[in-house]
Amino acid sequence: MKMDIPEQVRVARAQYYEQINRFSMTPLWEVLGRLVPKSPTPLVQPVLWKYAELREQVMLAGRLISAEEAERRVLILENPGLRGNSSVTQSLYAGLQLIMPGEVAPAHRHTQSALRLVLDGEGAYTAVDGERTTMRRGDFIITPAWTWHDHGNLGKQPVVWLDGLDIPLVRFFDAGFAEPGHHLSQEVNRPEGDALARYGSNMVPVDFMQATNAPTKVFVYPYEQSRAALEAIARGPVDPHHGYKQRFVNPATGASPMPTMAAFIQWLPKGFETLPYRSTDATVYVCLEGEGEVYVDDQLLQFQENDVFVVPSWSSLQMKSRRRSILFSYSDRPAQQALGLWRDERMVCPGG
């Protein structure tokens, strides 16, 4: 209820606010509506980065600084509503990383969890906990919290991938720790493919038991496998809000691969138009194949291969594929679910 406030009262209140300000106090009633909104009021904006522009700029960085000097040669994708915060959404970070032939990105570990989506080039590897995996386009690779990781490029082409980390979330909790490795590259003590064979083949080692929210030991989800699965699924019935959409899991538990971030991959048939959908997890999308357009509330974004776009919390999302499209996405959904906060809504009619 809005009431007219007499001048005398307004002055008295203003004086009082100044007085309590000196004691580091402030009146709740002036901010209550903003503190407890009826529904999310995100600062995060819908935004799309064209890969052609991203690539051009990150290649320029390749001439200015080495991966070793930079530690990680990355251009951060900052949401226009959150400039200066290294954030793509309130809880998540996104960056475009480049590694040139012959370079290494030195070993380290930190409490932030990271995921990678390989976009461009061949011949690089990521090492996680003593095993290297060759990075191929579309591969979804994870480095869970506090695992040693380093990258290298043994090939002849520049390699570019998207990094997704929970940096703002960890910063929010003031729970960030990091440690440099003892060597530039960590020692390799398992053959390539070992973790995927042991933990990602509908089996686990005989005595293996895992805590429900522990990260998976599978650290690469090869695109070849995800794509083949989508192709098979796309012969069956389609979800009107999502097309054919799958959630990546820790195969030992069914939970998300890491406790703070979920990752998804979806297939939209040519010409398919989704019904609008919204959820409280602001989401970063990457187009792996195809092209199309999305409406984020009233804003139209057109995507092509390797373009990156952001859908804010509780914004209605409607997608239309011009060609058969494959989209990867990630969000903080498991963190929200663990805290009992996550909501979603399948909307019935466009704009409804």
C-alpha dist (Å) from residue 43 to 36, 37, 196, 314: 15, 13, 39, 12
**Does residue 165 belong to the site contacting ligand 1HN (CB under 6 A)?**
yes
Residue 105 Cβ, how far from ligand 1HN at the closest point, in Å? 6
Which of these ranges, 40-48, 109-117, 187-195, 259-267, lies near ligand 1HN under the rule CB under 6 A? 109-117
The residue count for the chain: 352
Q: How far apart are CA 209 and CA 199, in angstroms?
A: 11
Binding-residue pattern over the window 320 to 349 for ligand 1HN, x denoting contact by CB under 6 A:
------------------------------
Residue 146 Cβ, how far from ligand 1HN at the closest point, in Å? 12
**Does residue 311 belong to the site contacting ligand 1HN (CB under 6 A)?**
no
**Closest of 154, 187, 184, 188 to residue 71, by C-alpha:** 184
Residue 327 Cβ, how far from ligand 1HN at the closest point, in Å? 22
**Does residue 95 belong to the site contacting ligand 1HN (CB under 6 A)?**
yes
Which structure tokens are listed for 136? 């191929």
- Which stretches of 24-137 are assigned E, i.e. beta strand? 47-49, 74-76, 93-99, 104-110, 114-120, 124-128, 131-134
Which structure tokens are listed for 237? 């019935």
* C-alpha 45 chain-centroid distance: 15
Answer for which of 132, 137, 149, 278 binds ligand 1HN (CB under 6 A) is: 149
Where do we find the tokens 């000196």?
22
Which is nearer to ligand 1HN, 186 or 306 (by Cβ)?
Answer: 186
Binding-residue pattern over the window 62 to 91 for ligand 1HN, x denoting contact by CB under 6 A:
----------x-x-----------------
User: In what helix (H) or strand (E) does residue 288 lie, and over which residues does it extend?
Assistant: strand 283-289
**Does residue 13 belong to the site contacting ligand 1HN (CB under 6 A)?**
no
Which is nearer to ligand 1HN, 97 or 318 (by Cβ)?
Answer: 97
**Does residue 164 belong to the site contacting ligand 1HN (CB under 6 A)?**
no
Q: How far apart are CA 221 and CA 265, in angstroms?
A: 11
Which is nearer to ligand 1HN, 69 or 207 (by Cβ)?
Answer: 69
Q: H helices of 48-119, where?
A: 51-64, 67-70
Which is nearer to ligand 1HN, 93 or 277 (by Cβ)?
Answer: 93
